[in-house]
Structure 1
Amino acid sequence: MTDTEQEKSSRMSLDQRETLCGKVSRQLQRFKWRDIFTWQLLKTLLMGQGLSALICGTAVTSQFLASVYHLDLPMLQSFINYTLLFLSYTTALLFRTGDGNILQILKKKWWKYILLGLADVEANYAVVKAYQYTTLTSVQLLDCFIIPVLMILSWFFLKARYRIIHYVAVCVCLAGVGAMVGADLLAGRDQGSTGNILLGDGLVILSATLYAVSNVCQEYTVKNQSRVEFLGMLGLFGTLISGIQLAVLEHVQLASIQWTWQIAVVLSGFTLCMYTLYSCMPMVMKLTSATAVNLSLLTADLFSLFCGLFLFQYSFSGLYIVSLVVITVGFIMFNAVPTPNSSPESVSGEGGYDNQAADFDEEGRMGSAVEVTSEHQEKEKETDSRGRKHPSENRECVVISSAEL
């Protein structure tokens, strides 16, 4: 190649780079950040972190009960929570009329809610038992298995369709979890039993799968039925199932408890956090999705670690801050772009945050067309001074313009 040809090729490559940079620059100038960082996204982020704070409260109080007061009764703690749900939400279903009454619900869907209650109770129990066989690191890593399971179940049953940005966002969040686990290892917090790691890891995976099933059922119910129905039926069957397991598995430990006011206060704190978590999670899930909620809950372990710095004298690592920032960025990326459904109609009867952008776009177009058509109909009804209506050519023009909208 001659010097002239080399100069031409270098100039062409330079022009191509300048053209590419120009396109990117123009796209960034036209990009509206307000379309992403909306009040809806901020509210979703804050509500998700509120749920993480509640999970942190349950973790801290549980650790107090186990390490300070030597009270390790997970089924008792679950039973109290389900009983409160029963007293508040199941009772509310008794006073409803029509299809919302508890008798009508039981006639049609009793077996579905039995499976839901069983999945939720056993998910709580399996993850607690896993700590007896495996390490904290394994639990934190394998617990993230709930995210891909949720996405698969949402794809098939809720007809959610994810874009590339959503998969990238999930990877970013999992990278944040990896940073958190790395900080734990550097700080020497890899506590837990190693008696049967394979069994413990299997329990964590089982727990994550059952949680995913419960959360997908929860999202479908709160978006198509009601939050009270979901919590009421979960309270009914959760109380029955956890009560049976409590009587079978923990009756000896329960009879040997030496109650003090300190134990009562800490147990009450756990119950308050857990009850509030169960009551508020359907609200957040109705605005977003089960996958988005669980992505926001990845920061719960970080909140627990921050509390442990003061309560249990954990050692601090800068990777904790990095992990919090990375998970938050991934959560924002996931919620910034809607996840449309494959079907024209949303699974949700009232619509969730996932489909708001698509719904707004369709409604905006239809609204514009209807508005233009209605204006034209009003004009057609008007007559001029000669008693003649407007010519039909205008009708064709208006119809074309409304279709273009």
Structure 2
Amino acid sequence: MEGPMEHRLCGKCTLDWGLHNYKMRDIFTWRLLKTIAMGQVLSLLICGTAVSCQYLADEKVETPMLQSFLNYTLLLLVYTTFLGTRRGDKNLFHVLRSNWWKYLVMGLADVEANYTVVKAYQFTTLTSIQLLDCFVIPVLMLLSWFLLKTRYRPVHFVAVLVCLLGVGAMVGADILAGRDQGSTEDVLLGDGLVLLSAALYAVSNVCQEHTVKTLSTVEFLGMMGLFGTVISGIQLAALETGAVAAVTWNLHIVLLFGLYALCMFALYSFMPVVVKLTSATAVNLSLLTADLFSLFCGLFLFHYTFSALYIVSFVIIIVGFVMFNVVPTYSALTEGGSDREFQGCPTDQGPHTDQGPPGGSTHQLLPPDTPDHGIAVAVL
């Protein structure tokens, strides 16, 4: 009797595993499609900020710190206020007492990253900025490896190279179309500012991933709003008082500032949700298409010259992004750190015991929901 009973048990487990495997593949496919779509929404929001900045530049308005200040102020009004209404150890004042210096570093890195990349346009060319800005990805992967204990597989490095190849195609199209605008006043200084900006963005993104995956999305956004407003406000008063006073204010310019602030607010609100679903590295890979969306808008709004290489570049970047997300990475931030999603037979005996679905670590297929997970999306 013992043999047939074991046979029936393992047969049932085999059937259960087949159904489980089918469901997990369906879930994974839906998650992948959702990740691609959400990543492109982020790129479209960045495109909105780029278009508004271009129109402001045409109006001779150069106030990058004021624009950042408006975004951080919106985050302050929404998320920091929400933190202030919390009770217990998740309250704003308790968070400040325990981790204020960490959020100060995060806010400082984010504010200065935004400022230095805009400042770089005064000294170097668009081509240099597009190429060197990709430096954020290897720095982010390195920081994630040491600080978040993220472990990558060979396919992830190949995927990054594919995405960078897509960026190269985009830059080549820009050069052929004569869009290598910018300044050559001090190229080395400008390139150095871009690299510094990329490193600061990597620091900010690592802090973001750690916070949203171990604490909460609202805590990250609330602290970013608080410290970002203070830091950018001080820098605004110190560096841009004259530039703000020189602006000829009218309804058109006010609407452009409003469009920029709303796009940035939506970007900052939505990005932690995508980071929680995937990783900061994956999100930055998806953002490589933002320049392409800006170029496509420029074809209609600013009469840019079209090149088929733009389409090729978009396809290559999406292919690389899909490659990166098809095989999930391992991270110490996830629960348990185990690669085994399904253990096979309850007794874990015999040849029917399976090591889990193909594709390695699956711990990120269904990230745990938290009460804060939907708040950022609800604001949108």
Structures share fold, TM-score greater than 0.5: yes
Q: Tell whether the 8 Å contact from 2:124 to 2:187 is kept in structure 1 after alignment.
A: yes
1:4-403 matches, cutoff 5 A: 38-67=29-58, 69-341=59-331, 346-348=332-334, 361-362=340-341, 364-365=342-343, 368-369=345-346, 400=349
Q: Which amino acid aligns with 1:214?
A: S
User: Aligned partners of 1:290, 1:271: CA distance in 2, in Å?
Assistant: 22
Q: Tell whether the 8 Å contact from 1:220 to 1:348 is kept in structure 2 after alignment.
A: no
Shift of 1:400: 4.3
User: Aligned partners of 1:252, 1:135: CA distance in 2, in Å?
Assistant: 26
SS in structure 1 at match of 2:257: helix
Q: Summarize the Cα distance change of 1:402–1:108 in structure 2 as closer, same or farther, 3 Å threshold.
A: farther
Q: Tell whether the 8 Å contact from 1:116 to 1:214 is kept in structure 2 after alignment.
A: yes
Q: Which amino acid aligns with 2:195?
A: I
Q: How many residue pairs align between the two structures?
A: 332
Q: Which amino acid aligns with 1:245?
A: Q
User: Aligned partners of 2:54, 2:348: CA distance in 1, in Å?
Assistant: 68
User: Aligned partners of 2:96, 2:220: CA distance in 1, in Å?
Assistant: 12
Q: Tell whether the 8 Å contact from 2:343 to 2:353 is kept in structure 1 after alignment.
A: no
Q: Summarize the Cα distance change of 1:399–1:163 in structure 2 as closer, same or farther, 3 Å threshold.
A: closer
SS in structure 1 at match of 2:86: coil
Shift of 1:348: 3.5
Who is 2:363 aligned against?
Answer: none
User: Aligned partners of 1:75, 1:162: CA distance in 2, in Å?
Assistant: 36
Q: Summarize the Cα distance change of 1:104–1:306 in structure 2 as closer, same or farther, 3 Å threshold.
A: same
Q: Tell whether the 8 Å contact from 1:147 to 1:291 is kept in structure 2 after alignment.
A: yes
Q: Percent identity?
A: 66
Shift of 1:255: 1.7
User: Aligned partners of 1:140, 1:215: CA distance in 2, in Å?
Assistant: 19
Shift of 1:37: 6.9
Shift of 1:174: 0.2
SS in structure 2 at match of 1:365: coil
Shift of 1:99: 1.4
User: Aligned partners of 2:29, 2:348: CA distance in 1, in Å?
Assistant: 35
Shift of 1:36: 9.9
Q: Which amino acid aligns with 2:333?
A: V
Shift of 1:256: 2.3
Q: Which amino acid aligns with 1:243?
A: G
What are the ranges of 5 or more consecutive residues in structure 2 without an aligned counterpart?
1-23, 355-380
Q: Which amino acid aligns with 1:232?
A: G
- With normalisation by structure 2, the TM-score equals 0.84
Q: Tell whether the 8 Å contact from 1:55 to 1:273 is kept in structure 2 after alignment.
A: yes
Q: Which amino acid aligns with 1:81?
A: N
User: Aligned partners of 2:87, 2:116: CA distance in 1, in Å?
Assistant: 37
Please give the per-residue CA displacement for 1:138-173, whole angstroms capped at 9, x wherever unaligned.
000000000000100010011111111000000000
Q: Summarize the Cα distance change of 1:400–1:295 in structure 2 as closer, same or farther, 3 Å threshold.
A: closer
SS in structure 2 at match of 1:258: coil
User: Aligned partners of 1:291, 1:112: CA distance in 2, in Å?
Assistant: 21
Of Structure 1 and Structure 2, the greater helix share is in 1
Shift of 1:399: 7.2
Shift of 1:71: 0.8
Q: Which amino acid aligns with 2:343?
A: R
Give the greater-gyration-radius structure (CA).
Answer: 1
SS in structure 1 at match of 2:173: helix
Q: Summarize the Cα distance change of 1:324–1:400 in structure 2 as closer, same or farther, 3 Å threshold.
A: closer
User: Aligned partners of 1:81, 1:73: CA distance in 2, in Å?
Assistant: 13
SS in structure 2 at match of 1:214: helix
Q: Tell whether the 8 Å contact from 1:36 to 1:336 is kept in structure 2 after alignment.
A: no
User: Aligned partners of 2:353, 2:300: CA distance in 1, in Å?
Assistant: 62
Please give the per-residue CA displacement for 1:323-365, whole angstroms capped at 9, x wherever unaligned.
0000000000000001123xxxx4145x9xxx8xx65x33x21
Runs of 4+ aligned residues of structure 1 deviating over 4 Å after TM superposition are 33-37, 398-405
User: Aligned partners of 2:260, 2:222: CA distance in 1, in Å?
Assistant: 20
Q: Tell whether the 8 Å contact from 1:292 to 1:331 is kept in structure 2 after alignment.
A: yes
Q: Tell whether the 8 Å contact from 1:131 to 1:193 is kept in structure 2 after alignment.
A: yes
